[in-house]
Amino acid sequence: MFCTKCGAVVPEGSAFCTACGNPMAQAGTGSSTPAPSVPPAQQPTPPPSQMTGGFTPASGGTAPYGQAPYGQGGGQPYGQGDNGTYGQTPPNAYQAPRYASEQQSSPQAPQPPQQAPRKRHAGKIAAIALGVVALLAVLGVGGFFAYQTVFGEKPEEIIAAHANELMAAYADPASGEGSALIDEADSILAALGNYPHPGSDAYEAWLDDSSYEVGGVTVSEDGTTATVDVTVTHRPLIDSVEEHEGVRDSAGDEQEREFVLSYRRSGDEWRLDDEAEAKAAVYAAYLPTDEELIISDVYWYLGDPDEIDGQIIAALQESGDQSFEALGITMDEFLDAYLEGFGYEVGDANVDGDVATVRVTVTVKPYDDIVLEFQNQFQLMMQNVDPATITSEEELYEASGQLLLQVVEGIPTQNYTVELVFVQDGDGVWWMDEASHYALMGIFGG
């Protein structure tokens, strides 16, 4: 028996074609009419290479499947009308020759439908399908990054735009981020000894005067992470606020702070890798550093040499007012003589965790030398004064006060170097430790 699909020889009783797997119609099933067998004399077993599935019907015979009867101009193929079953060999159909030589003996016989074109179309469709699968694979691996690179904005553009939007919010006092930044700035300054108690307009003016610039964006090779450089330019916060409040004449020179924002691709979006870390970086760029806060405290202790308004000097004033009044002079007169040539230099603050040190060199008249020289001069005065010329005790004190001023004016200045230690508490506030406080006070005779 022959396969009705490919024409291959199939052993009798087979349920499926051994060449193409097509189901074979069985006699007696009622589903189809089996094809008649070729007489044994016409059934030599040909070599596989000579097998063919072509049909060569005789004149007046039944046409192969899908073709009009031989010699006729039309007609409905068997299996597509009302009298046959689709896909089966029509009854009494002439069987196909099994040898190529038999085909060649009938050169005018019509050939069966060729399968090669169908295979070429199938191959083209398969190639297109593979292309689609490959594209889907690329989109699956590259995700939004690949799509944006080919069809939309590049990652560098997306990240730069987000960084600009973020920094614009922090630089705007009216935005939530800008308002929070101002609150943090006020909280930090409130912990300083020289807090000028400014209004919100002082911080807003400082923030309005600031600027920022978003620089280059660097995307990792795998397209999953990126960094962007940001530069913030502004006046020092402490100096700017004090200038706004009239405490100082200048807001200081502009300073630039650089930092990096990190991004990570999440699905089809680029997001900040760590929002808390990004916020801390922005705050660090705008707000005073630990070193600035420590140096600010040192200046608060020592004050402006021209204004004589430091906390050390204030402590001297509080402790000596009544004593100087008894000598017939004022504290201001004494300080004018004592602080002549006064000055100081503050070195860099070295921060190590919650402990910092800063070296300070103070130029001032040695208080101990003033006291010793005054005692010597007072004894000489008492030895040379005629008690009869002293009419009252007040007159003696007044003479002593004038002597003190003369002694102070005559004492030269000296340099004193002391290393001050600052400790940061749990709230982030830096405090000079007790030992450093006493060392600093000791320079001024405290």
- What DSSP assignment string belongs to 196-236? ----HHHHHHHHHT-EEEEEEEEE-TTSSEEEEEEEEEE--
**With bands split at pLDDT 50, 70 and 90, how would you rate the model's confidence at 262?**
very high
CB 163 within 8 A of CB 228: yes
Compare 39 and 159 and report the one with higher pLDDT.
159
Give the end of a domain, one of 230, 258, 287: 287
CB atoms within 10 A of CB 114: 9
- Same domain as 336, residue 238: no
Give CA–CA dist 295/252, Å, rounded: 14
Backbone torsion region of residue 303, taken as left when φ is above 0, otherwise alpha when ψ lies between -120 and 50, otherwise beta: left
- Same domain as 120, residue 107: no
CB 434 within 8 A of CB 412: no
Tell me which amino acid residue 67 is.
Q
How many helices and strands in the chain, by DSSP H and E? 13, 8
Query: Which two three-digit tokens encode residue 163?
Result: 């960084």
CB 357 within 8 A of CB 291: no
- What are the backbone angles phi and psi of residue 137, rounded to the nearest 5°? -65, -40
- Residue 160 pLDDT more than 70? yes
Give CA–CA dist 142/266, Å, rounded: 12
pLDDT at 320: 62
Longest dimension (CA), the chain: 173
- Same domain as 126, residue 109: no
- Same domain as 222, residue 304: no
CB 159 within 8 A of CB 144: no
Based on the structure, what is the number of domains in the chain?
Answer: 4
Radius of gyration of the CA atoms of the chain, in A: 52
Q: Where are the alpha helices (DSSP H) in 16-115?
A: 100-104
The pTM score is 0.59
Tell me which amino acid residue 170 is.
Y
Residue 332: domain span: 296-443
Tens-place pLDDT, residues 365-417? 999 999 999 999 999 988 887 777 777 888 888 889 999 999 999 999 999 99
Give CA–CA dist 166/168, Å, rounded: 5
Instruction: Return the SS3 of 442.
Output: helix
**With bands split at pLDDT 50, 70 and 90, how would you rate the model's confidence at 14?**
confident
- Same domain as 166, residue 104: no
Mean pLDDT of the region 83-103: 45
- Same domain as 318, residue 328: yes
Give the end of a domain, one of 235, 258, 287: 287
- Same domain as 359, residue 220: no
CB 68 within 8 A of CB 62: no
Tens-place pLDDT, residues 52-87? 444 344 444 444 444 444 344 444 444 444 444 444
Q: What is the mean pLDDT of the chain?
A: 77
Torsion angle of the four alpha carbons 102, 104, 109, 111, in this order, in degrees rounded to the nearest 10? 90
- Same domain as 170, residue 279: yes
User: What are the DSSP E strand ranges found in 61-163?
Assistant: none
CB 238 within 8 A of CB 296: yes
Out of 171-185, 196-210, 359-373, 391-405, least confident range: 391-405
- Residue 51 pLDDT more than 60? no
pLDDT at 173: 94
- Residue 34 pLDDT more than 50? no
Instruction: Return the SS3 of 75.
Output: coil
CB 272 within 8 A of CB 229: no
Compare 83 and 220 and report the one with higher pLDDT.
220
Mean pLDDT of the region 310-334: 77
**With bands split at pLDDT 50, 70 and 90, how would you rate the model's confidence at 273?**
very high
CB 271 within 8 A of CB 264: yes
- Residue 293 pLDDT more than 60? yes
- Same domain as 196, residue 173: yes
- Same domain as 365, residue 226: no
- End-to-end Cα distance, the chain: 125
pLDDT at 89: 46
- Same domain as 434, residue 303: yes
Give the end of a domain, one of 287, 322, 347: 287
Q: What percent of the chain has pLDDT over 90?
A: 44
- Residue 8 pLDDT more than 50? yes
Mean pLDDT of the region 240-250: 89
Give the chain's length: 446
Nearest residue to 243 via CA among 205, 277, 187, 290: 205
Give CA–CA dist 159/261, Å, rounded: 10
- Same domain as 233, residue 310: no
In a 13 Å sphere around the CA of 323, the CA atoms on its Cβ side amount to 7
User: What are the DSSP E strand ranges found in 324-429?
Assistant: 343-352, 355-364, 414-424
Which residues touch 267 (CB under 8 Å, ≥6 apart)?
143, 144
Give CA–CA dist 176/180, Å, rounded: 6
CB atoms within 10 A of CB 417: 11
- Residue 432 pLDDT more than 80? yes
